[in-house]
C-alpha cells in the first residue's frame, strides 16, 4: 500500500523542507532535511496493529522461554546428556538453560527493536547550536599572547636549556616504570610447577604417614601432601595451595578414561584438590557416582572420566598426578602435574 491509496486526512503533516542559501557570513548552505518518507504503519492502522501484535508475540515468547528456563532447572537431572546434531553429546541441563535463556533475551531485544522501528516516531529533528569558534578579536589576542610568551622565554635562542628540558621530561616517566618493581617478583614458571616430582611419597595429611595401596579402600577419599612439606614451614600455605592432592580408589572397570587408568595404580587415582574455577579446595565426594563437588560454586567433576566438568562454572578438568609404588610398597609420584593446577591463567598451556 502506498500513500496515494490513503485518504489525505490520514496522512501526517509534512515537514518544512526550507533550505538556507549560502552567503558571505555562512559560506556553506544548510542542505536541510530530506522529505520525510512515511512508513506503512504511519498511514495504515491495520499495519500498525500487525506490528503491535508482532511485538506482543515476541514478548510473550520471551515469557514462555523464561518459564521454560525455570522448568528445565527444576526438572532436568544435572547428569543427563543428549545428542545434538552436529555438535555431539551435550549436558542436557546446560543445553536447555542456554537455549531458553538465549531465546528469552533475544525475544526481548527483537521486540524492542521492532517496536522502535515500526511504531515509534522516526521523524528527524534539527536542533541548531551556537557557534563554537571564538570571536576574531579573542583569537587574535590569544595568538599575540602566545607569541609574546614564546619570545620572552627565549626558548628558541637558549638551545641548551631547551634540549636539557626535553631530556628531563623524557626520562622522568622512567621513575614510574621502576616503581612497578615493588609490585613483587616476577612469577617465572612457579605457576606451572609444584613440589611433586618423581619419587615423592604421598603423605596422608591427617596421619602425616606415607600411604600404601592397602591404606586406600575402594570408594574412600584421602587428602594427601608431598613428602617433606610440613605445616610449620614458612611457605607451607603457598606450596599446599598448588600441591594439595586427593586420592580416590575406584574399581579399575569403572574408570572410563584411558589416560586416567594408565596414570593410576590398581584403581587408585590422584587428582589436584584445587578447583579449576577460582581455586577453592574440593572436599565433597559422592561414592556411588564418583563425582567430586566444589562447595564454593558447585562445580562438579567426574573422577571416573578424567575429572571432566559435568556441572558448574569450572572451565576445565582437574589435573591428574601420575602415581606408582616404590620398592618399599609406598605410593609415590612419577613426576609433577603436566599442566598448571587451579584456575586458568593467560599463559595456560
Per residue in 17-49, pLDDT (tens digit) is 455 566 777 777 777 777 888 888 888 899 989
Predicted pLDDT at 2? 45
Instruction: Give every CB contact of residue 331 below 8 A, 6+ residues apart in sequence.
Output: 201, 202, 210, 211, 212, 213, 216, 247, 265, 268, 323, 324, 325
Mean pLDDT for the stretch of residues 73-96: 89
Predicted confidence (pLDDT) at residue 110 exceeds the cutoff of 70: yes
Please report the pLDDT score of residue 21 as a whole number.
64
Mean confidence (pLDDT) of the chain = 85
Q: What is the DSSP string of 8-61?
A: GGGSPPPPP-------SS--S----PPPPPPPHHHH-HHHHHHHHHHHHHHHHH
Rounded Cα distance between 57 and 62, Å, is: 9
The pLDDT of residue 161 is 78
pLDDT band at residue 212 using 50, 70 and 90 as cut-offs? very high
Given this model, what pLDDT does residue 4 score? 46
- pLDDT > 70 fraction of the chain, expressed in percent and rounded: 91
Range name among 9-23, 90-104, 156-170, 275-289 with the lowest pLDDT average = 9-23
Find the mean pLDDT for residues 90-115: 93
Q: DSSP letters of 87-122?
A: TEEEEHHHHHHHHHHHHHHHHHHHHHHHHHHHTS--
Alpha helices by DSSP H, 76-205: 92-118, 136-153, 159-171, 174-179
CATH 2.102.10.10 fits 200-333, yes or no: yes
Q: Where are the domains of the chain?
A: 32-117, 200-333
CA–CA dist 42, 31 (Å, integer): 26
Mean pLDDT of 268-281: 92
Which of 102-106, 150-154, 193-197, 263-267 has the least mean pLDDT? Answer: 150-154
Check: CB of residue 244 under 8 Å from CB of residue 267: no
The pLDDT, as a whole number, for residue 200 is: 92
Q: For the whole model, what pTM was predicted? A: 0.50
What per-residue confidence (pLDDT) applies to 180?
76
Could you list the beta-strand ranges (E) of 221-298: 221-226, 245-249, 268-272, 284-286, 291-293
**pLDDT computed for residue 11 by the predictor:** 52
User: Which residue is it, cell 602435574?
Assistant: 337
The residue with greater pLDDT, 33 or 346, is 33
For residue 273, the SS3 value is: coil
Higher-pLDDT residue of 299, 130: 299
Tell me how far apart the alpha carbons of residues 243 and 219 are, in angstroms, rounded to a whole number.
22
Helix H or strand E segment including 131: none
Task: Tell me the mean pLDDT in the region 220-227.
Answer: 92
pLDDT at 1 over 50: no
- Do residues 302 and 248 lie in contact, with contact meaning Cβ atoms separated by under 8 Å? no
CA 14/CA 2 separation, integer angstroms:
16
Amino acid at each position: 500500500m502506498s500513500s496515494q491509496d490513503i485518504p489525505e486526512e490520514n496522512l501526517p503533516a509534512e515537514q518544512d523542507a526550507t533550505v538556507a542559501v549560502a552567503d558571505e557570513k555562512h559560506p556553506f548552505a544548510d542542505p536541510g532535511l530530506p522529505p520525510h518518507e512515511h512508513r506503512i504503519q504511519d498511514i495504515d492502522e491495520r499495519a500498525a496493529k500487525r506490528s503491535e501484535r508482532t511485538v506482543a508475540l515476541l514478548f510473550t515468547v520471551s515469557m514462555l522461554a523464561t518459564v521454560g528456563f525455570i522448568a528445565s532447572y527444576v526438572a532436568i537431572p544435572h547428569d543427563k546428556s543428549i545428542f545434538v546434531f552436529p555438535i555431539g553429546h551435550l549436558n542436557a541441563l546446560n543445553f536447555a538453560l542456554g537455549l531458553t535463556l538465549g531465546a528469552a533475551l533475544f525475544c526481548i531485544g527483537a521486540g524492542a527493536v521492532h517496536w522502535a522501528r515500526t511504531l515509534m516516531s522516526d521523524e528527524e529533528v534539527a536542533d541548531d547550536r551556537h557557534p563554537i569558534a571564538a570571536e576574531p578579536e579573542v583569537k587574535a589576542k590569544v595568538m599575540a599572547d602566545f607569541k609574546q610568551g614564546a619570545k620572552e622565554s627565549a626558548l628558541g635562542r637558549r638551545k641548551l636549556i631547551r634540549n636539557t628540558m626535553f631530556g628531563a621530561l623524557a626520562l622522568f616517566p622512567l621513575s614510574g616504570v621502576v616503581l612497578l618493581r615493588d609490585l613483587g617478583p616476577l612469577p617465572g614458571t612457579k605457576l606451572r610447577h609444584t613440589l611433586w616430582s618423581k619419587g615423592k611419597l604421598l603423605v596422608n595429611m591427617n596421619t602425616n604417614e606415607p600411604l600404601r595401596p592397602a591404606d586406600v579402600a575402594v570408594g574412600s577419599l584421602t587428602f594427601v601432601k608431598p613428602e617433606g612439606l610440613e605445616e610449620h614451614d614458612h611457605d607451607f600455605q603457598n606450596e599446599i595451595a598448588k600441591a594439595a592432592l586427593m586420592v580416590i580408589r575406584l574399581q579399575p572397570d569403572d574408570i572410563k578414561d584411558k589416560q586416567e587408568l594408565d596414570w593410576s595404580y590398581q584403581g587408585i587415582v590422584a587428582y589436584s584438590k584445587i578447583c579449576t574455577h577460582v581455586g577453592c579446595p574440593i572436599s565433597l565426594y559422592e561414592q556411588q557416582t564418583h563425582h567430586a563437588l566444589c562447595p564454593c560454586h558447585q562445580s562438579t567433576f567426574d573422577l571416573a572420566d578424567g575429572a571432566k566438568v559435568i556441572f558448574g562454572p569450572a572451565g576445565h578438568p582437574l589435573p591428574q598426578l601420575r602415581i606408582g609404588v616404590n620398592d618399599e610398597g609406598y605410593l609415590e609420584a612419577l613426576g609433577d602435574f603436566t599442566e598448571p593446577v587451579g584456575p586458568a591463567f593467560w599463559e595456560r598451556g
